Amino acid sequence: MRSSVFEALQKLDGQPGALFLKIMEYGSMSVEIYRPSKTDLQTPHLQDELYVVISGSGEFFNGGERASFNPGDMLFVPAGVEHRFENFTEDFVTWVIFYGPEGGEKEKA
């Protein structure tokens, strides 16, 4: 399996009004391309997730903490945690990788 940012965005553009699109799946893992418009209206997810920022910058609210992000940054969110992108530029696009069991994996001691 493979996908490029260009191919994923072409597929997303082919879905009028869509902000995200699943690009691949394997076992418990799925990968989406996500391009919110002005406001990120996400709610907590059932699986752990990893974001890899493709383009744009802004702030990321994650479980009560806020941090800036830029292209190439990786952001982790445990399952069930409130999170969202804020004050992001118009060119913001990210990969979203969901994985693991519902409720998330347990942190190693």
pTM given for the model: 0.93
| pLDDT at position 5 | 96
| Separation CA 104–CA 46 (nearest Å) | 7
Q: Could you tell me the mean pLDDT of each successive run of 10 residues in the chain, 109 residues long?
A: 94 95 97 97 96 98 97 98 98 98 88
| Separation CA 106–CA 48 (nearest Å) | 10
| Separation CA 53–CA 56 (nearest Å) | 8
Q: Tokens at residue 108, please?
A: 């190693």
Residue 76 contacts residue 14 (beta carbons within 8 Å): no
Q: For the chain, how far is it from start to end, CA to CA, in angstroms?
A: 33
| pLDDT at position 107 | 81
The verdict on domain 5-99 having CATH code 1.10.1740.10 is no
